[in-house]
A = this chain, B = another copy of it.
C-alpha cells in the first residue's frame, strides 16, 4: 500500500504520452509540494496545458485531478511523515517520544520497501528445511539473537543463540550441511562475527545475514538480508536497526510457520496452553 502511487507511476509511465510524461516527471521530482498545487500551477510547472494534466490523471486511473491529489496526499503522508529526527535538548518528553517513534516507523517502512523478497523466500525455505538454527550476534545484536532463538524454538526447531565468540567458534565447527546460521550485525564488520561465520561456511552450513549491504558480512553470507538505514549515523539509526532486525526475524518466523503448515500451528497451541500455568488467572466479571 505504501508507495502505491509511485508504483502506479512507474508501471504506467511507458503508456503515457510525451507531454503527460512531463507531468509524471515533475510529480516524481517534486512529490510533496504538489498536494498544495492547483491544476493550473501543476500545468505551468510541468510546462503543459491544464487538460493534459487532467488526461494524465485519467491515464493513471483516477477520476480527476482532485482524486489524484487526494491519493498523492495520502501517499506523501504515509511516506514522508516519519522522518529521521534530530534531537534537541530543549525537547519535551512528549516531543522526543514522538520523534523516536516516528523515526522508528520511518525506518521500518524504508527497510520494508528495500527488503529483497527473493532472498527472504530463500531464507524461509532453508529455515523450513533445517532442524538446527544457530543465531550469532554481539552487543546490541545479542538480545536480537535471543529473540530469534525464542521465535524459532517455538516452531519446534532446535534453535540456539550464541553471543560469546568462544562458544560461537566451538558451535560453528560442529555445524553440518543443512544447518542454518543467522548472523546479526548492525555494522556488518564485527571481526569475531566474520570469523565464526567463515567457520560456519566451512562446516557447510547456510548463512543468513541480517546486516547492512556492502559490508564484509553481507558478502560472506549466501543469503544476505540487507538492513540499510538512512545514511546519516544519527542516534536514531542505531536505535532503529535492532528493531528492524526483529521485525525481519518476525517475517522469517511467520514464513517458516506458513511453510511448515498445520502441524506447527498445533504445536504453537500446545505451547500457549502450557505457558498459561505460569500466569495468574484472568478475572471474570
Contacts and interface: CB of A to CB of B under 8 A. Distances in A.
Interface of A: 1-2, 35, 69-70, 73-78, 81, 87, 89, 91-94, 96-98, 100-102, 104-105, 108-109, 111-112, 115, 117, 120-121, 124, 138-140, 142-144, 146-147, 150, 187, 189-192, 194, 216, 235, 239, 242-243, 246-247, 250-251, 254-255, 258, 261, 275, 278-280, 282
Contact of A239 (B69, B142, B250, B280): B250
A87 B258 contact: yes
A91 to B, nearest CB: 7
Q: How many chain copies?
A: 2
Contacts of A139: 150, 275
Given A96-B254, A117-B93, A255-B96, A147 B242 contact: yes
Contact of A100 (B89, B117, B192, B251): B251
Given A93-B117, A97-B251, 9 more contacts: A2-B81, A73-B74, A92-B117, A97-B115, A104-B247, A105-B105, A146-B146, A190-B278, A216-B280
Contacts of A250: 100, 104, 239
